[in-house]
């Protein structure tokens, strides 16, 4: 799969000795290679396994941002790309990054451009990354493009790290609470069975129900866990179908708080990608085609694809995006202002900054509310279990009287 200068996707078969040769041939035709598959190499099962394993070949965004920043600093200091890559290879403490950098250095030494070399590693460097590097090389501003890329990746890595850090405490609280509940159900409650049997009394209905649940968890807990994992895999597999995934995404948009949050996240991704690409000299139509692939929401991606077609026909970007009713009004307003003032890239980046801050504050508030909510829910569950024990003990006292 490749994309031409107008942003149109191309699919086909090229007879070549390797993926590198394919990338070189497409590059001469002013096209960007996205991914290649060797015809007849693998069967269906092998392709499925390779698709899953491919996710592990990539590098974390933080590692890519670190490499990009160091590379930009060295180029700005006057080093050539070969010396910069050699320095990164010698100083990197990440084995996976070192291997990728060595391959990039060898490819560049072989006469390829940096963008063409990066395109040979689609699981590591995204289409956005490759396109920005290509634009930087074409415009003689490679160091500046790398700096913009580093800013983009570092911002995304900081946002992801903030969200992950905020979710650590709720996750620990949920695990600890579930462990307490399982202990009560599988160990504490069954102790009362023998006590009631010796007293010749029958356990109250709530206590018997809880003991039955505990027995089920103790005897078949592993099977239940495996069944839940299997169900999750089935759901994930089903959501790979575009129509099912789109239906699920549309359903999420109607959920209060969650729907607006999704819209803002997608608007921030679109605006930041678009602004970064335009600032580095990429055309609007091609920038929209690249931004479409960055979006994780199929509904948003289809709207951007339709907007790209309208823009190609002469329409204004803000009006084309507003027609779908997906992106926030604030995004549309800033993009329209950018088009009117000739500062579309700056206004797009400004919109991305605004939405990033909104997403950060929304997530922070949600996490703040999540902790007491989890505490209350788990407390009620534990109180219910303890209450059933108290009811059982009171029934023993009634029996003694």
From 39-48, 215-224, 316-325, the region with the lowest mean pLDDT: 39-48
Cβ burial of 176 (10 Å; 0-12, 13-18, 19+) is exposed
CA–CA dist 125, 23 (Å, integer)? 15
pLDDT of 337 reads: 92
pLDDT of 400 reads: 46
pLDDT tens-digit profile of 117-170? 888 888 888 877 888 888 788 778 888 888 888 888 888 787 777 777 777 888
Query: pLDDT higher for 23 or 215?
Result: 215
pLDDT value at 206 more than 80: no
Beta pairing, strands 9-10 & 2-3 = antiparallel
Q: Are 318 and 335 in contact (CB under 8 A)?
A: yes
Mean pLDDT of 65-79: 86
pLDDT of 41 reads: 43
Phi and psi at residue 10, to the nearest 5°: -125, 135
Q: Is the pTM of this model over 0.85?
A: no
Mean pLDDT of 32-39: 58
Mean pLDDT of 209-215: 81
DSSP string, 222-247: HHHHHHHHHHHHHHHHHTTSHHHHHH
pLDDT tens-digit profile of 247-282? 888 888 888 888 888 899 889 888 888 888 888 788
pLDDT of 334 reads: 92
Residues ≥6 apart with Cβ < 8 Å to 260:
328, 362
Of the candidates 119, 163, 113, the one whose C-alpha atom is nearest the C-alpha of residue 139 is 113
Q: Does domain 162-401 have CATH number 3.10.20.30?
A: no
Task: Work out the mean pLDDT of the chain and round it to a whole number.
Answer: 79
Query: pLDDT higher for 397 or 230?
Result: 230
pLDDT tens-digit profile of 287-340? 888 888 778 788 888 898 898 899 888 888 888 888 878 889 989 999 999 999
pLDDT band at 58; cut points 50, 70, 90: low
Going from N- to C-terminal start, the domains of the chain cover: 1-56, 162-401
Of the candidates 107, 151, 102, the one whose C-alpha atom is nearest the C-alpha of residue 279 is 151
pLDDT of 56 reads: 40
Rounded to 5, what percent of the chain is helix, strand, coil?
75, 0, 20
Mean pLDDT of 185-206: 73
pLDDT of 247 reads: 87
pLDDT of 50 reads: 36
Structure tokens that stand for 193 in this block = 């069975």
pLDDT value at 48 more than 50: no
Q: Are 292 and 301 in contact (CB under 8 A)?
A: yes
CA–CA dist 357, 152 (Å, integer)? 15
CA–CA dist 244, 185 (Å, integer)? 38
pLDDT band at 7; cut points 50, 70, 90: low
43-68 in b/e form (b: 16+ CB < 10 A) is: eeeeeeeeeeeeeeebbebebbbbbb
Q: At what angle do helices 258-279 and 329-341 cross, to 10 degrees?
A: 20
């Amino acid at each position: 799969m490749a994309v031409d200068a107008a942003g149109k996707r191309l699919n086909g078969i090229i007879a070549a000795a390797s993926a590198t040769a394919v990338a070189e041939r497409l590059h001469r035709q002013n096209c960007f290679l996205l991914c290649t598959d060797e015809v007849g190499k693998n069967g269906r099962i092998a392709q499925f396994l390779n698709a899953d394993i491919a996710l592990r070949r990539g590098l974390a965004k933080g590692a890519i941002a670190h490499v990009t920043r160091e590379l930009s600093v060295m180029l700005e200091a006057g080093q050539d790309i070969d010396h910069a890559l050699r320095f990164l290879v010698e100083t990197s403490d990440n084995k996976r990054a070192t291997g990728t950098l060595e391959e990039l250095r060898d490819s560049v030494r072989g006469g390829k451009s940096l963008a063409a070399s990066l395109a040979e590693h689609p699981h590591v460097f995204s289409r956005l990354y490759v396109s920005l590097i290509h634009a930087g090389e074409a415009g003689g501003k490679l160091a500046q493009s790398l700096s913009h890329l580093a800013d983009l990746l570092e911002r995304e890595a900081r946002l992801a790290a903030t969200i992950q850090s905020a979710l650590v405490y709720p996750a620990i609280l949920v695990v600890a609470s579930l462990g307490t509940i399982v202990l009560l159900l599988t160990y504490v409650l069954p102790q009362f069975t023998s006590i009631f049997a010796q007293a010749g009394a029958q356990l109250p209905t709530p206590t018997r129900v809880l003991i039955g649940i505990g027995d089920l968890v103790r005897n078949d807990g592993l099977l239940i866990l495996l069944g839940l994992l299997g169900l999750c895999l089935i759901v994930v597999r089903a959501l790979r179908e575009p129509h099912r995934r789109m239906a699920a995404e549309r359903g999420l948009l109607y959920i209060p708080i969650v729907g607006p949050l999704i819209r803002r996240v997608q608007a921030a991704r679109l605006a930041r990608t678009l602004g970064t690409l335009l600032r580095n000299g990429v055309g609007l139509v091609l920038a929209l085609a690249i931004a479409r692939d960055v979006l994780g929401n199929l509904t948003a991606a289809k709207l951007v694809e339709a907007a790209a077609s309208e823009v190609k026909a002469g329409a204004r970007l803000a009006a084309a995006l507003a027609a779908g009713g997906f992106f926030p009004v604030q995004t549309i307003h800033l993009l329209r202002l950018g088009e009117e003032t000739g500062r579309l890239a700056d206004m797009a980046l400004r919109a991305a900054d605004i939405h990033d801050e909104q997403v950060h504050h929304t997530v922070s508030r949600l996490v703040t509310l999540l902790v007491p909510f989890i505490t209350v829910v788990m407390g009620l569950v534990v109180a219910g279990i303890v209450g059933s024990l108290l009811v059982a003990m009171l029934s023993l006292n009634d029996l003694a009287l």
